[in-house]
Structure 1
Amino acid sequence: MYRFHVPTIDISPWVGPGPDHARAAVVAAVDHACRTVGFMQIVGHGIPNVVIDDLEAGIDEFFALPLEVKKQYVRPAGENRGYTPPKSESLSYSLGVDPVTRMNDFFEAFNVGTSWREYPGTAATAADYAENTWPDAVPPFRSAVEEYFVEARRVARTLTQIFAAALRVPEDFFDALTDHSIDVLRMNNYALPPGSIELGAELTGMGEHTDFGLVTVLWADQVAGLQVLGLDGSWNDVMPADGALLVNIGDVAARLTNDKWLSTLHRVKPPVIDGTIERRRSAAFFHDGNADAVVDVLPHFVTREAPALYEPVTVAQHIAAKLAGSRAGRKNLTAVREAARVTASHG
């Protein structure tokens, strides 16, 4: 009988020097999680508590600003930087699925990421690696976010080392895919002032979607809301364990493995208690890969019985199609397989 389960994995043998048998056990556990659920809880990640505490404080201070102040930091949708007001996105469109109401995801967010200036000598350009906007209204915000960004990127790169071992590719395989990776930290706030929205069945915190890139490292409050689609088509509540980060793989990993690893659909439902929304915060670090990297199915995942499910595509092309859906309201008609899974879950 199928039972949905997100495993907790201690990756400390890969964060620091660990014995071979312990590192092998981590590889096996990560491979199993990627094949069966696409999500895992990781502990032993090595991010100091003070770094996370400072991030929380910075997030709180920024999102507490008046909406008219926060809107000063809105950037064009394609740049994936700056402030995103409530109800200006619908992530279901990134999969080519019509949401219940247009652009109805009620979360607000602030995005920062790697700039093209950080990758001299590469093909990185401002088109894919935009400059950041930092809110001068909250001076401590930048230092807190930058410090966490460095730690989250370290964790993501550690995970790709584990992935290389699990996928039986050379240990430097992901270097060529991620040496000038599009890395984005999206800080989300699921709370709105009383009376600013109409509570009801159509309210969506964040619509069904898969993550675009290679791997996502998520810090989140221990508050209900995140739901993950199980293999049986059921939606299941997932909450971070004490001291854990939630990790899930994205579309790039699924493409590399011909869907042997699962880029799992997930969503955020608003936790409504006594007619009000309980606040939920999260910070998702997306390690997406180089904009110009061509993602193709690894040869050893293709057989006569299991032909390649995807055509080669660059990371930039894939992300552009997804962002055009979620932010510009244009259906991503290339996400046929993902859209079918969303439709089946509704049924």
Structure 2
Amino acid sequence: MSEETSFQVPVVDVSAYGDPASTEQERLAVVRRLDEAARSVGFLQVVGHGIPDATWTGLGDAIDGFFGLPMEVKRRYVAPKGVNRGYTAPKSERLSLSLGVEKAERMNDFFEAFNVGVDAERYPALDLDRTAYAPNPWPEEVDGFEQRVSAWTAAADAVGHRLLAVFADALGLPAGWFERYTDHSLNVLRMNNYALPEGERVELDGDLIGMGEHTDFGIVTLLWADDVRGLQVLGADGGWHDVSPLPGALLINFGDLMSRWTNERWRSTLHRVKPPVVDGTIRRRRSAAFFLDGNHDAVIAALPGSVAEGEAPLYPPITVAEHIDAKLRGSRGLEVNTSGTEREAERVAAARS
């Protein structure tokens, strides 16, 4: 259920962190606003990010081109099991399983997706896991697909690293602190299409879900999305709230690893996507989530000063690989994740009640 209250996703202008002439006071204003959003909502809208309009629209064109292909062509790009690349057909995943939440009567999530990510060949001097850093299956049937998607991932990566500089300042860490954890980050771009035929009328029931309740797995997510209702965020009041981006704004949310790092000072907020139905009629909805997940071999443990004296951290240390693999076994492998998900599962249960 979506509750219409005063719930708001804060807007943060990060242009001061891209401008060498900005003042310390201007950067401090960004830090304060981001920290407040991270503590209270776990989502924010970022403006002043500097991504060119051509790159923005180019990604939309690439998404339309691929998902407009016939199903038999799209299925050629299904990756082998365990490889987080390529095409995912509708009703192939259940993201709620990544939280250890299972609801037997629920159909699998009604979206299709295409994933690309960082290839091991980008870091030839490192002995990287060739499954985690797998090559990308670029669809040749869509003109300019690789170039447009690559332009977006490069721009999103640059914004993500600018945000890491804000995070370090907000958490009282030395400048560049996060770089040692992200210098060969396991970044993935997931392009989504909510695969209901646009324009048809449909009766909603409890089993139809666009994308199930979940938290994001990594450090931070940068979301490109249509301004069509569907995305819902779980608020502190226990209700689900509709969220749509402002024109030209990136929706940003913090992932599980950032929440672990900060001992839950910053929230990894539960969210879901309902079918994009307006007044009973299906609307097209697309999104693309850029996941900045950190180095595969990085160990994530509570930050200095994040745990009160005499208390234990809420989570034990874990590598990025261990955490991401357990989550993907849930959502894509359809196995209930039992790896430290109790706190998230309790939040889902509370929202449902």
Shorter-chain TM-score range = over 0.9
Q: How does 1:1-80 map to 2 (within 5 A)?
A: 3-17=6-20, 18-80=22-84
Please state how far the C-alpha of 1:328 moved relative to its aligned partner. 1.1
**Once the 2 structures are TM-superposed, how far is the Cα of residue 306 of structure 1 from its aligned partner?**
4.5
Kept in 2: contact 1:100–1:202 (CA 8 A): no
Contact persistence 1:90–1:102 (CA under 8 A): no
Query: How many Å apart are 1:275 and its aligned residue?
Result: 4.3
Asked if the contact 2:106/2:207 (under 8 Å) is kept, the reply is no
The corresponding residue for 2:344 is: 338
Measured in 1, the distance between the counterparts of 2:81 and 2:38 equals 31
**Matching residue within 167, 174, 178 for 1:170:** 174
Question: Which string of whole-angstrom CA distances, capped at 9 and with x for unpartnered residues, describes residues 180-228 of structure 1?
Answer: 1000000000133378x98532100000000000000001000000000
| Equivalent residue, structure 2, for 1:202 | 207
2:147 counterpart residue number: 143
Pick closer, same or farther for the CA change 1:101–1:67 going to 2, 3 Å: farther
Quote the Cα distance in structure 2 between the aligned partners of 1:3 and 1:297.
32
Structure 1: which 4+ aligned runs deviate by more than 3 Å? 99-103, 273-276
- Matched residue count: 346
Instruction: Please give the residue correspondences for 1:306-325 in structure 2 after superposition, counting only pairs within 5 Å.
Output: 306-325=311-330
Is 1:268 the counterpart of 2:285? The answer is no
| Letter matched to residue 76 of structure 1 | P
Closer/same/farther in 2, CA of residues 21 and 83 from structure 1, 3 Å limit: same
Could you report, residue by residue, the CA deviation over 1:16-38 in whole angstroms, capped at 9, with x for unpaired residues?
Answer: 22211111110111111101100
Q: Which position in structure 2 is the counterpart of 1:116?
A: 120
| Structure 2 CA distance for partners of 1:277 and 1:291, relative to 1, 3 Å | same
Structure 1 residue 101: Cα displacement = 3.8
TM-score w.r.t. the length of structure 2 is 0.94
Contact 1:122 1:180 in 2 (8 A): no
How far apart, CA to CA, are the structure 2 residues paired with 1:273 and 1:37?
A: 26
Amino acid across the alignment from 2:19 = G
Aligned residue number for residue 83 of structure 1: 87
2: CA distance, partners of 1:184 / 1:132: 11
Q: Secondary structure at the match of 2:7?
A: coil
CA distance in 1, matches of 2:300, 2:169: 18
CA contact (8 A) 1:107 1:190 kept: yes
The TM-score normalised by the length of structure 1 is: 0.96
* CA deviation map 1:282-329 (0-9, x unaligned): 110000000000000113011146420001000000000000000111
Secondary structure in 1 matching 2:69: coil
Q: 1:263 to 1:140 in 2, by over 3 A?
A: same
The answer on 1:243 being equivalent to 2:262 is: no
Q: Percent identity?
A: 55
Alignment root-mean-square deviation, CA: 1.7
How far is the alpha carbon of 1:61 from its aligned partner?
1.0
Structure 2: unaligned runs, 5 residues or longer: none
Shift of 1:173: 1.1
For structure 1, list consecutive stretches of 5 or more residues without a partner in the other structure. Answer: none
Aligned to 2:219: 214
Contact 2:261 2:303 in 1 (8 A): yes
Taking the aligned partners of 2:24 and 2:124, their CA distance within structure 1 comes to 36
The AA in structure 2 aligned to 1:46 is G
